[in-house]
Structures are given as structure tokens and as C-alpha cells.
Chain A
Amino acid sequence: MSASTLAGVAFAASIAVAVMAAYRPLGDYMARIFTSTHHTRIEKAVYKTVGIDPDADQTWGTYLRSVLAFSGVSVLALYGLLRVQSHLGHPYAVPAMGPSQSFNTAVSFVTNTNWQSYSGESALGYTAQAVGLAVQNFLSAAVGIAVAIALVRGFQRSRTERLGNFWVDLVRCTLRLLLPLSFLIAVVFVAAGEIQNLHAYRSATGLAGGSQTIPGGPVASQEAIKQLGTNGGGFFNANSAHPFENPTVWTNWIAIFLEIVIPFSLCRTFGKMVGDKRQGLAIAAVMGLLLVTTTGLLVGAQLAHHGTVPTAIGSASEGVETRFGVPDSSVFASTTTATSTGAVNSFHDSYTSLGGAVTLFNMMLGEVAPGGTGSGLYGMLVLAVLSVFIAGLMVGRTPEYLGKKIGRREVTFASLYILATPAIVLIGTAVAMALPGERASMLNSGAHGMSEVLYAFTSAGNNNGSAFAGISVNTTWYNTALGLAMMLGRFLPMVFVLGLAGSLARQHPVPASDGTLPTHRLLFIGFLTGVTVIVVALTYFPALALGPLAEGLH
């Protein structure tokens, strides 16, 4: 192996070790946040100002309506802010943003997707970035975690209609977890060279006499939560490749660590809350197994640099920064698509065909390995419910998971959850490919162009937000269609998850018997991994065959 490959392996391994070290303390801390009966003084003040009874316990219907009300209000408020941002007074001229792009951007940030059809440094002012987008970076992450916790309470509680209080979960997650951590990370990021100022753009005359405009902005504060909350919406167009957004090789390490640390640690929170930490570890093991495999495949594909242009170059270095190099960039590409982050430090459109296919596959897994903050855990738990059901069918016993029967109602919710996103992705891609004007948005032609469209809808439907960025998506049609895909891809699954949670919480627990499938052993870990991969493969194989596979194998 070359020095570069070895360093890449050590790089990925060191991040894995750090996540394992954080798993227990962070997971336990989050469990305390969501089970504590104590309200801090600031929280009490917030509840009082807002007019919420923090001790009211909500049914799944009320919990869901609160999620939807909060997200709906957030979309409208952000849309309004983006529409008027050109009048807000900035140290430099900011253009107005049109209706379809504002809709797309508002939905994108509220759904934790952070798909960007604009270029941050030229399209947005500091106000829209900090007061609009960064706020949703926090809140959309907290909403995802809240819904996951509600599902965990469905397993934890019995004979009740109540799943907790959405407002309390949201406020606590923000104030006790995301805000303090982001503050610390932001200061570290400034020390590394990320900018944090409110200056106007400065003009410079370069060493060779050319002129250059040096941008400013509150970048570090936004970058911290962008990575921690698996958001991924860059301050600048080049996202985490931009030297002001990811200046050093070690901020790159931190950025990757932050993407996966909460999604993995939430498994510990789950185990702790249901009173069996091994259950959490089993779920984390499945996530880890999938992530290590796809990361290995992706790094391998990029280092092998198969394909005409990479062979001519002698490396897959197109769209890659010198400081990160191919291995570290590929590790980032894997974690950003396997979580719902979608930040990029290298450009996936220029990846080798098979490397690009792995990033697509990661998103198609439904963002469960380890997925977004919260959404990864609830996605994997739904797959666990489905796996238990399939295993039950195989041996002819009534399936149960964590003492809850998996009956018709539970399986219906799980199935709807699993069908929702693929339907959005495949229908969206099919419609786009059928329309000549929308086809023309592709930068590359043929199979690679198909990959660009498929990637766009996969990214939107799964709330990832990364892009095969060659495609021109700032058109009314794409802004609207992808906006709808993001909205449905976020909230339909949440409806089914909370429905499932409500129906689980209502049940009497069944004691484990000889016929109960142990869900913390290797057998189940293997089974759940298999179900996850097979569901995705069956759903998306035809589409993958038309895009990256056709290109890579021709």
C-alpha cells in the first residue's frame, strides 16, 4: 500500500476510535436530557414567554401536529426572510431571491436537507445566513432528534397514549446539547482559520497584480452546527472545500467526526432509555458495519481511479483539494452521504463512476448508517421492526421487538415508511427525465447525466443535500419539484414513525419467551444489515443500472 493509502486508513480509523470513545458519555448525556424532570431557569423562562405547559404529555397525534406546526411556521418565516433579504442592510450588495428559489431554500433548511440551488457568497447576505439558515440548522436537527426520542418512548412506555412533549424535547435538545457544543466547536474552528466577522468583502491586489475579492461573514459559528446537526448547507458555494470553511487537514477530521458522533451516540441513548444497552449497541453495530463497508468501497474506488479521465490523470484528483487529498476526501464523501449532512469537501460529480455509485447507494440506504441526527435512529428502528417481522414470518411465530408485538398496524406503518422515500425519488427522477427542458439541465450527457438527475432526487428525497453539482437546478421546475421532494421526504416518514410510536406505546408488554428472537445478538445484527441492503437493492437497482453502473461498466 502507498503512504497515501495507509494514511487514509489511519485517518478513518482514528475517527472511528474517537466516535467509539464518545458513544457512551454522549449517549448517556442525551438520555439524561430527555428523561430528566428538571427544567432549567432559562428553559422555564422560554416556556413562559412562549406560553407552553412543559409538563403536558402529548399523544402521538398532538406530538405530530406540534412538529408540523413548528416546521410549517419555520418554512414560512424563512421564506419571508429570504424574499426581503435584499432590503436588510448589508455591508455589500445582496440581490433579491426569487419565489421558487426562496421556497426551495426554506424547505431545504427546515427539513435538514440543506440542498442549495444558490451560491452562498453571491446570493445571500449575512442576515439571511445567520438569522435564517443557521437557526434552522439548529432547529431542524433538534426536530429530528425529538421525533427519534418519541419513537424510543413508544418502546419504553406501555399502556399509554402519551409520547412526551415536543416543545420540551426541542428546547432541551437545542439548549442543553446543540448550542453549547456548537459554541465550543466554533471557537476551535476560528483558531484553525475559519472566518468569523461581519466585514464587507475586501478587495486585494494579488502578488501578480490580479485583483481578488476576499469575502467575510460569520462562518465558523454556522459551520459548527452545520456539521454537528448533519445539515451540510455551506456558507460558500464550495461548501467544506472552501478554505474559509474548512481551512486545515484537522478541521476536516473534526468535520467528519461531528457528522457521525450524534447519530451513533443516539443508539446508546435508545439502549439506555429502553433499559437494555445491548439493544442500542446492536443498532450501532449495524450502522457501523454498513458505514465501514461503504467507506472502504468508496475509498477503494477512488484510489483505484478507474475510468477514462482518471486514468489519463493518473489519480481521481479532479474536484479534490490538495490538503485533503483523495483518501481523506473519500472518507468525507462517505460519511456525508451516509448521514444526512450533504456537505462536500470534494465534488462528487467528478468522482469515478463506481465511487459516485457508492455515494448514491449511501443515500439510498435511507440515511440510516448512521443517518441524520435523529432521522438515522428512527429509520434504523423502523428497519429493525421490519426485520423482526420478516424473521417472524420465517419461523412462523408472532414477531415482537423489545417486548412489543409487531402486528398489522405496526407493519403497515413500517411499510409505508419504507415505501415513501423511494416513491418520491423514483417518480421525481422519471418525470425529470421525461421532460426535455429538465433533461437539458444536465451538465454531462448520457449515463452520467442520468446520474446527475437521480442524485438530485435521491439527495432531496432522503434529505441529504449533497449534489452531483454539474446539473443546473436553479430553475422554477427543479426548485419546486426538489422542494416538494424534500418536504414529503421529511414529513411523510415522520407521520409514519410517530404513528408507529403511538401504537407501540399503547400495547401491553409481552414477556420474552423461548420463541423470542434475541435482538442484541450477532444473528440479528447480520439479519438487520441484510434486510437494509436487500430493501435498497431491490428498490433502486434498475435506476442505478441506468446511471453510474452503465457508465462504470461499459
Chain B
Amino acid sequence: MRANLRQYAAALRLLLVMTVLLGVVYPLAVTAVAQVPGLKAKADGSLVHNAPGALLGSSLIGQSYVDKHGNPLVQYFQSRPSAAGAGYDPTASSASNLGPESIVDVLPDPKVKGDTGKQSLLTLVCSRSKAIGALEKVDGMRPFCTPSGVGAVLAVFHQGPGYAGAVTRAVSVNEACPATPFLSTYEGAAVECGKPGEDYSKGQIVPVHGSFAGTPAVPADAVTASASGLDPEISPAYAALQVARVAAARGTPVVAVRALVQAHTAGRDLGFIGEPRVNVLALNMDLDKRYPYRTR
């Protein structure tokens, strides 16, 4: 018993000694080294200021370029969708965590005031793609999306058990009534619109690929949330898509904006580490400096 107690006392004393060494001396020593010029700016968060000296943010952390209503500001390159808080909130870094078969929405109930329902990942992707397509004046269509910009998903009811037999009923679960469903009939049954609150779990959930083939005009990173929700960068493809719109908004030749994007594009390190990328804040700041935006 006494030997045991001695062991616990030794454990506690060792923990204290180690805590001083590893928990106080070590982080402070690293912090001290980080005060060296060259390291200090980075250790402080790679902060960026505007010309009068006010803090704009960090070059490592992405920002939203939207107006009060959440609509994209046309004069700026847009960042990726973000699941961090209300969007690009560094106090709530997060991914969406929605899975690859998250395809059925919870439709908002019109009887409940302010109910927004819950959108599936598929509908989020489809609606973003449609909105970006409209903004950039390209086709926002993708596979498994309806022209209305939600996931093209049916609940299919069969005559027999085990999803066997003739189809008796089909419901487009993500298109709330009174919408016209993306398909008029499915295997002989008329397709209905979805009614909020109705239970379709007895039906077989069937995503419908549709006729879309080839590569969507809106790139993948533009329609997906990043891992941190603070992604400072976009793909060169998404930047290229936005060039015409930004150039038009600023009354600048497209070639000039394209050249600026090129200048802010980083390739893979050593040719094989990471992916090509464009830092959105750096690009937008440079744009403001060279081609200031004037509201017309």
C-alpha cells in the first residue's frame, strides 16, 4: 500500500516537472524564437492591412465577398462556399460533414414561420451550380440536378414488396409543391411534387442522372464547401470562370484581369506537392489597387 502511494506521489511530481518543461518553457521558447524578424509577421497570423493601416484579415484565411443580403459582389472574385459559421467565420472553422449519399432534403414547412428545412448536399451542390451559372453566364447544369437547381431524386413506390412489381407512384422529393417536377412520368407513373412533412420513407430513393454528359461548366471547388470553411484559395479553373464578370464590372479589358489571375496563380510546389491555386484575397486586393471599382 505504501509503495503504491509512493508511486502516485512520484507520478504527480513527475507530471508537474514535465508540465513546467513541456507546457511552459517549450511553448515560450518557440514563441521567443518566433519574434525574430521574418518569423514574427508569420507567427502573428500573416495579417494584411489596407493603405490607411486598418486590419483587413489574414492572407491565409479566406473571406466572403458578398453584400448585406448575401449576394455576390460582382467586382470581386468569389471564394468557395463555406460551412464555417455563417461563412468564413474563423471562430467556427468547420466542414459541412454531409455524406456522398446525402440526397434527400427536408422541405421547409410553409405552416411553420421561418422554417428553412434542411438541404441535402446534392441540393446544395445543384443550387450553387445554378446560381453560379447564372452569375457567370454559363450553363450551371450537372448530373443528378433538376433544371430548377435541386437534387433530381425520386421516391418510387412499387406494387409488390421489396421494390418489386409495377411502379404505382413516384414523387420528386426535393421539389416542393406547387413546383412542376423535372420528370412528367417515371416507368408509367405520373411524377408528383413533394409535400412538406409527408413521409416518403416507404418508397425506394432513386437519384436520376439525367441526360447531362461531359464536364460541368462550373468547376467542382465552386460548388463544394472546403474542409476548414476558411479556404483562402480557389482553383485556377474557378478563377478563369470569373474573369469576364470581374473585368466587365470594373470596366477593365479581360486580358488585363486574366494576366493578374495568372500572376496570382501558384503551381504545385516542386512540381508535385499540392494543387494549383489562386489566393482570392491577394488577387482582389491587387485588383482594387490597379483597377479600382467605381459604382455606376
Contact = CB atoms under 8 A, between A and B. Distances in A.
A213 interface: yes
A392 interface: no
A197 B93 contact: no
B14 interface: yes
Interface string A348-368: 011111001000000000000
B80 to A, nearest CB: 7
B27 A130 contact: yes
A182 B26 contact: yes
A179 interface: yes
A81 B143 CA distance: 52
Nearest to B62: A243
Interface in A67-98: 69-70, 72-74, 77
Contacts of A192: 42
A47 B45 CA distance: 39
Interface string A223-262: 0000000000000111001111001111011000000000
A49 B17 contact: yes
A308 B207 contact: yes
B221 A210 contact: no
A69 B7 contact: yes
B192 interface: no
Contacts of A323: 231, 233, 274-275, 277
Contact of A312 (B26, B47, B97, B122): B122
Q: Of residues B11, B27, B91, B100, which shows the largest number of chain A Cβ atoms within 10 Å of its Cβ?
A: B100
B287 to A, nearest CB: 10
Interface residues of A, number: 120
Interface string B167-192: 00000000000000000000000000
B225 interface: yes
Contact of B95 (A236, A252, A347, A447): A347
Interface in B70-115: 73, 76, 80, 84, 88-103
A341 interface: no
B43 A202 contact: no
Contacts of A4: 275
A179 B30 CA distance: 11
B11 A69 contact: yes
Interface string B1-41: 00010011111111101110111101101110110001100
B34 A249 contact: no
A346 B129 CA distance: 22
B25 to A, nearest CB: 10
Interface in B192-228: 207, 209, 215-216, 220-221, 223-228
Nearest to A208: B65
A183 interface: yes
Nearest to B153: A308
B92 A121 contact: yes
Contacts of B43: 190, 194-197, 220
B285 interface: yes
Contacts of B228: 236, 238, 241-243, 321
Interface string B136-158: 00000011110000010000000
Given A7-B268, A221-B26, A214 B95 contact: no
B83 to A, nearest CB: 8
A539 to B, nearest CB: 24
B121 interface: yes
Contacts of A248: 269, 274
A191 B39 CA distance: 6
A218 B281 CA distance: 25
Contacts of A309: 98-103, 121-122, 125, 144
B227 A345 contact: yes
A7, A52, A74: most-surrounded residue (chain B CB, <10 A): A7
List the 7 closest pairs (A to B, CB-CB), nearest first: A249-B274, A325-B275, A241-B227, A470-B97, A238-B93, A238-B228, A307-B100
